[in-house]
Chains A and B, each alone.
Chain A
Amino acid sequence: MMDEPAVFEYKIGLLAPSRVGKSTLIASLLTEGQQQLAQDSSVHLLTADRPTKHRLGATYNLVSGALKARMFEPGLVRSTSDPSWFRLLLEARGQDLRIRFDILDYPGAWLEGAGEGTEDERKWNECEAFLADSSVLIVPIDSVLLMDSGDDHAHLLTSHLSVFQINQAVLRWAKNRRELSGEPAMIVFCPVKCETYLSDSGSLKDHAGALRDKVVDQFSDVLRTVRDAAPHAAVRYLPIDTFGCVELVSARWIRAQGAPGGEMLMPKYRVRPPGRIVRKGLDDLLTLLCRQLVDTARAQSERATAARQTAALHSRGYAELREGFFRDLWLNFNGERDRRRHTAATDERLFAMSQRTTQSLFDVLTALAGRESGPRLHHLS
């Protein structure tokens, strides 16, 4: 038992309607996360099981293969029709310490209702419970919809962005987090497909300020919900490129039955030569996640250490308690004293292990805190 690494398990929830890019974001978190964290000496990221490895491998092969064949399309990754789980491990280098985090991918339209009384609804209830229980909530937002919908269609934005449904899910999450106020909580608003609007990824225009203002404006109710229901939660804003090498050519509204207002926005993209994937913002997201998860684990470990210290002190006191000459003789004779001392030694060992884990987490956190955040990251609280 002494040799087994300490494992902390957490959930990361993604909250977005269909076709925003949840699956792509999850896949890029690991594939590029591994490369970026390789330069860091404190932690490294790996898949926790074979299904996750295969799932991410399939997405990587699909995107890279198409890019090499010059057939790159932004909508390359097929949308999700059934929920799937991604399990990743954050390992502290040189320490027996692992943080496992699970990410759930699900059909985005379930956010707006999965059909009353159906099997899909039952499954969505499981997904909702996962989201509400997440330590970190990421809200990917379609930046093309925000920035290129035009004034004529501004009134349709709220429903196309599913702001109401996101607010409902955030409320449930925030209430859950308030009950666990001893644990750190964080929500990250991540506009995706941002390469067209931010100059640091090669665009000639810089609309960073306008993009942030629009996110804050559209999601003002969601921000208020977080502040009211979970005031201790950290709120961050971080725009992310989806592929980095694509640029929006045009976006026009077309008639579409079933879409809010009977219309939908159809974007067209082109590949920027040389067509190499460089996703800006992803490194900051990874650092944020790592810091948050390590901090959460540290808080949990500190609580466990305090509890084990109390247990160790109590069992040592009980083991050495003098209960009178004849009673002490009897305790020594029947082996009870040895049993008590053995229990005390076990509790002290557990306390020492817990102390070491807390110290290791603190060291990793200190190392991660040294990583500089990029200019895209903003605090919204």
Chain B
Amino acid sequence: MHVYLRTRGAPRKLDYAFLGAAPGSRWWDTYSELTATERPCLLAVTSKGRWRVLISGVPSTRTDSVGTLVYYTLVLDGSPCPSGTADTGQDRATVLALASRWLDDVTRHPEGRGVLSERLDSLCSSAEVDRLLAARNSELTTERAELTARLTTALASLSPVPSAQDAGTPSPALLTERWIAGRTAPGAGAAFLTRLSSLLSGEDGQAHLLNLVSSAEDIAALPQKSGPLAVLIEGGMVGDCAMPAEALRKPPSEVVAKAPKARWRAAVVPTALTALILLLLGLGLIAGNWT
């Protein structure tokens, strides 16, 4: 598992950047119409045997040059190893604990201040953040590696939030393959973590906590990927965080792929094979008569 941490420094020139190494791609840009990374959000995608998670908008106690609170973005990625491998379980448990903590922090404080904020703030001082961001990427490599190691240890030591007894009965929509719900809707948090667990085990799909979404209509802008989908509405500034769960339709591409085209192919292939066999038999007979 790779872990990356992004934040900003106090001087205006030290804008948001990764303190250590940066992820190989800015994969979260495809979700920019659905979530603002400056406010609490979570993105999780598994595709082609690789999972990727982004947790952003985690508030720090540090401020920048104009007195605005600074926030963190955590990016994690990894590959689900074959079952029985020791590391796999640890990575999965770490990310699940992290996600459950983050959902709990967002529920307890509108800005998301909580355990995760404290944990990240304790990793490095304001002066250290400024020093790392002011240096070139090729400089302070030892300090950057140490910070990443501290970060990995800090995240691994997070314990998951004990599952709370929800006030209401979970909606049946949460049992469907694709759903959207407010983050405080009964059973939504637990269903979200279950879905995230599947993604971390290697099942293709998506699970997101989005802050620029207010209804199922907004999900049309979501990148079309195969597999299940779970969307929690963050609801801090946009949308209702208590919106009841709603099942979502399958993307048109999946429906089309399974329906007439598949049937057409199913009919054509045996017909073509039969014709070919008959042709070969005919040719064989003609050749036999000729000789």
Q: Is B181 an interface residue (CB 8 A)?
A: no
Residue of A whose beta carbon sits closest to that of B59:
A78
- Residues of B within 8 Å of A122, CB to CB, are 26
Q: Is B13 an interface residue (CB 8 A)?
A: yes
> With the chains together, A58 CA to B239 CA distance in Å?
10
> With the chains together, A134 CA to B65 CA distance in Å?
29
The smallest C-beta distance from A282 to any residue of chain B, in angstroms, reads 20
- Residues of A within 8 Å of B221, CB to CB, are 50-51
- Residues of A within 8 Å of B6, CB to CB, are 81
- Dominant SS at the B interface? loop
> With the chains together, A82 CA to B221 CA distance in Å?
18
0/1 per residue, B129-145, Cβ < 8 Å to A? 01101100100000000
- Residues of B within 8 Å of A260, CB to CB, are 13
With A75-B64, A115-B137: A54-B218 Cβ-Cβ less than 8 Å? yes
With A57-B237, A107-B16, A115-B22: A79-B38 Cβ-Cβ less than 8 Å? yes
Interface residues on A, range: 35 or more
Contact A110 B10 (CB under 8 A): no
With A120-B26, A123-B29: A62-B63 Cβ-Cβ less than 8 Å? no
Docked complex: A245-260 residues within 8 A CB-CB of B:
256-260
Q: Is B9 an interface residue (CB 8 A)?
A: yes
Q: Which of B92-100, B206-214, B276-284 contacts A (4 or more CB under 8 A)?
A: B206-214
Contact A266 B65 (CB under 8 A): yes
Interface centre among B11, B14, B73, B213 (most CB of A within 10 A): B11
- Residues of B within 8 Å of A49, CB to CB, are 33
Contact B13 A109 (CB under 8 A): yes
- Residues of A within 8 Å of B15, CB to CB, are 18, 79, 81, 107-110
With A58-B211, A80-B38, A82-B28: A74-B64 Cβ-Cβ less than 8 Å? no
Q: Is B238 an interface residue (CB 8 A)?
A: yes
Q: Is B175 an interface residue (CB 8 A)?
A: no
* Selected A-B contacts with CB under 8 Å, 16 pairs: A18-B8, A19-B68, A50-B221, A61-B237, A74-B67, A75-B64, A78-B69, A81-B71, A84-B32, A118-B137, A120-B22, A122-B26, A160-B12, A256-B65, A257-B127, A264-B10
Interface residues of B (CB under 8 A from A): 6, 8-17, 22-26, 28-29, 32-34, 36-39, 56, 63-69, 71, 73, 127, 130-131, 133-134, 137, 211-214, 217-218, 221, 236-239
Sort A-B residue pairs by CB-CB distance and give the 10 closest, nearest first.
Answer: A109-B15, A258-B134, A75-B68, A259-B11, A81-B16, A58-B237, A51-B33, A75-B67, A78-B38, A75-B66
Task: Given contact pairs A54-B214, A81-B15, enumerate 7 new A-B contacts (beta carbons under 8 Å).
Answer: A75-B66, A75-B69, A81-B38, A84-B32, A109-B16, A120-B17, A256-B65
Interface residues of A (CB under 8 A from B): 17-20, 49-51, 54-55, 57-59, 61-62, 73-85, 107-110, 112, 115, 118-120, 122-123, 160, 256-260, 264-268
